[in-house]
Homo-oligomer: A and B are copies of this chain.
Amino acid sequence: MAIPELQRRLREFVAERDWRQYQNPKNLVMALTGEVGELTEIFQWLTSDQSASVMSDSQRAEHVRDEIADVLAYLLRLCDVLGIDPEAALAEKITKNAAKYPVPTATSP
């Protein structure tokens, strides 16, 4: 399922529960913070190496997937209420960043 379709489903989900009234941009940014906090709690006491193999435990893998999904959900809701196309915004940002951080070139011998 692609991003526009996920956004449509999230929009319906919210409308059906009459939650649209709560989902102004300010509140959605806070909800995003809350979910990033939950994602952080999974990783906070792990070493970097442990974090790299976090998906090898199936229960923890599902937890990570769920929290990442929650972060993405609020990010997509935020984009929806602000009228931002997240994929276009990121494509443009990558172009900006490529100019800002040029690839180091090999020095000639």
Residues of A within 8 A of B (CB): 1-3, 6, 9-10, 13, 16-18, 22, 24-27, 29-41, 43-49, 51-52, 54-55, 64-66, 68-73, 75-76, 78-79, 81-84, 86-94, 96-98, 101, 103-104
Contacts and interface: CB of A to CB of B under 8 A. Distances in A.
Q: Is the interface of A mostly helix, strand, loop or mixed?
A: helix
A51 B103 CA distance: 27
A24 B52 contact: yes
B82 A75 contact: no
**How many copies of the shown chain assemble into the complex?**
4
Contacts of A54: 25, 82
Nearest to A103: B16
Contacts of A51: 24-26, 29
